[in-house]
Amino acid sequence: MAVPPADGGQNPAQPDPAGGDGSQHQCGKAPKPQSKFAKIAKSSWVSGIASGLISGAIVTFAITATGHSTGVRLLQMVSLAKAPTCANPGWLQQVPDDQILANSWYAALDNLPHYRTVHTPDLTVDGNVRTAWLQWWPTSGFGNKYPLSGNYITWSFAQPYDVRLVCILNGWDEDSTTFNSVKPVKYATIGNSAPGCSGTPVKLNIHTYAYRWNAVPLLHSHSTRMLCLQISRPYRGLQGDLRCSPGPTGHAKSCRVLTGLSEVRFYYSPMPLNWVSY
């Protein structure tokens, strides 16, 4: 015999087997509504912003071909008050020597005891300040095969660089004897086309044996694969110490003095900082 329910014959509410909630729940708690922060955090546009920030950080602090962090350089730039110099290039980065190919029309043999070596153009970017590229001066009288327009040296880069500063160690800077045996360069032109090297006229003020760099800022702010230097005139030098060197093949009796450069360094502006004026 069935016992009637205590509430006057009404059966207790049962959960809907189909999954509906009806008007009552037998067990468990009702789900909490999502907070506004959780909804925003899960939205697609927030994910896009976060991805952009991460990508920007990766680009900013990317390691360049020279092994420097652009982001670190950017922080250094902010703290600098002076323009880049050869002693402190600031945000500028040096073009690696192994990324440069040097060429010249002339390369001379010196006439010093214990040396007598050919001073080729690659010696300007060999990382050794004691070596030098040297050529005869003047080059007139050598014939049409040796034009006056050939008094230049070129540097070709493995990739385009926005070079803003060129640092030049003048003459043959190994020691005082080698330095005084040649004529340091006085006037020249630096450009990005050869021969002629039309571009920035420069005067190399440092022409004594002091191991000091001549800083040549370049005003153009565009990338280039090549720079050249055309010698206009060297210093007179110390006449008593200048060494006469035989000319090119077929002109051995045309003894001339030598002029040239010991080392050249190129500093470029990395891509994120091209907007910085110099």
Taking Cα atoms as reference points, which of 217, 222, 102 lies closest to residue 168? 217
Does 58 have pLDDT greater than 50?
A: no
- CA–centroid distance for 206 within its chain: 24
User: Which residue did the predictor score with more confidence, 118 or 145?
Assistant: 118
Phi/psi of residue 231, each to 5°?
-80, 125
Q: What pLDDT was estimated at residue 17? A: 47
Q: Has residue 164 got a pLDDT over 90?
A: yes
What is the reported pLDDT for 145? 67
On whether the CB atoms of residues 257 and 229 are closer than 8 A, the answer is no
Task: Determine the pLDDT at residue 3.
Answer: 47
- The mean pLDDT value for 153-159 works out to 97
Res 153: pLDDT: 97
DSSP string, 112-157: -TTT--B--GGGGGSS-TT--EEEEE--TTS-TTS-GGG-EEEEEE
CA dihedral 244, 246, 251, 252 (to 10 degrees): 120
Domain definitions of the chain by residue range: 84-273
Q: What is the pLDDT of residues 176-224, one digit of tens each?
A: 999 999 999 999 999 998 877 888 899 999 878 888 999 999 976 679 9
The runs of H, that is alpha helices, within the chain are 36-41, 44-60, 70-79, 176-180
| Residue showing tokens 């077929």 | 250
The pLDDT of residue 72 is: 56
pLDDT at 57: 47
Tell me the average pLDDT of the chain: 78
pLDDT digits (tens, 9 = 90+) for 254-278: 678 999 999 999 999 987 666 556 5
**Mean pLDDT in residue range 8-14:** 49
64-109: per-residue pLDDT in tens?
555 555 555 555 554 554 789 999 998 899 999 999 999 999 999 9
Both tokens assigned to 134:
């040297």
Class of 84-273 in CATH: mainly beta
